[in-house]
Amino acid sequence: MATQPLLHGKDEEEDVEADEAFNNVEEEQQQLLPRCGTGGGASFWRCCLNLSNVISGIGTLSVPYALAQGGWLSLALFAVVGAVCLYTGGLIDRCMRADRSVRSYPDIGHLAFGAHGRTAIGAVMHVELYLIAISFLILEGDNLDKLLPGTAVEILGCQLRGKQLFVL
């Protein structure tokens, strides 16, 4: 066993001065950071804005890759998709202006197809939300597998590795 310290050359006075300087830096950082529980948290609308920024950012980052894989024809496809979205947005606007009670997609389904339309559109909306959550899990599983290759964990005799581990 070693009886001498591994690091030499510091007196106790220097250690005390270093501790005081460290504490001063911590106090300054505490003044800069917002305090929790004092009304500085994010509101519902700020959370919605942050979520839309994240989703938009993912889409923005994937466009160059999609263009590289699709070539010049993919630009025309993007324009067609944009035109279809503009047209359907106009149709939805017309439906909502025709009947002021329309506030959601299931309401439009009810207006167009009755009670069965409301049920079908509601089911499609719920399945879409479920699949979006699954796609984000798969996206993050792929990214984490590339960041941490070869990671494996054994749980109850079953070994999980790679994408399956991170998605789980």
Pairwise CA distance, residues 59 & 26, whole Å: 39
52 token code pair = 């839309």
Q: Answer yes or no: is 158 within a domain.
A: yes
Residues 109 and 155 in one domain: yes
Q: Answer yes or no: is 35 within a domain.
A: no
* pLDDT at residue 116, as a whole number: 94
Residues 79 and 123 in one domain: no
Q: What is the mean pLDDT of residues 102-120?
A: 88
Element (H, E) at 31: helix 12-32
* pLDDT at residue 36, as a whole number: 45
Residues 78 and 131 in one domain: no
Residues 93 and 105 in one domain: no
Residues 126 and 139 in one domain: yes
Domain boundary among 98, 124, 151: 98
Tally of structural domains, the chain: 2
Residues 73 and 106 in one domain: no
Residues 121 and 157 in one domain: yes
Pairwise CA distance, residues 106 & 110, whole Å: 6
Q: Answer yes or no: is 166 within a domain.
A: yes
Residues 167 and 107 in one domain: yes
Q: Name beta bridge partners: 158.
A: 155
Residues 163 and 123 in one domain: yes
Q: Answer yes or no: is 31 within a domain.
A: no
Residue-wise pLDDT for 30-48, tens only, equals 555 454 445 556 788 888 8
Count Cα neighbours of 119 within 13 Å in the Cβ-side half-sphere. 3
Residues 87 and 147 in one domain: no
Residues 106 and 158 in one domain: yes
User: Average model confidence (pLDDT) for the chain?
Assistant: 77
Q: Answer yes or no: is 116 within a domain.
A: yes
122 token code pair = 């509601």
Q: Answer yes or no: is 83 within a domain.
A: yes
Looking at per-residue confidence, does 38 or 49 come out higher?
Answer: 49
Residue 113: give the domain boundaries: 101-168
Residues 168 and 108 in one domain: yes
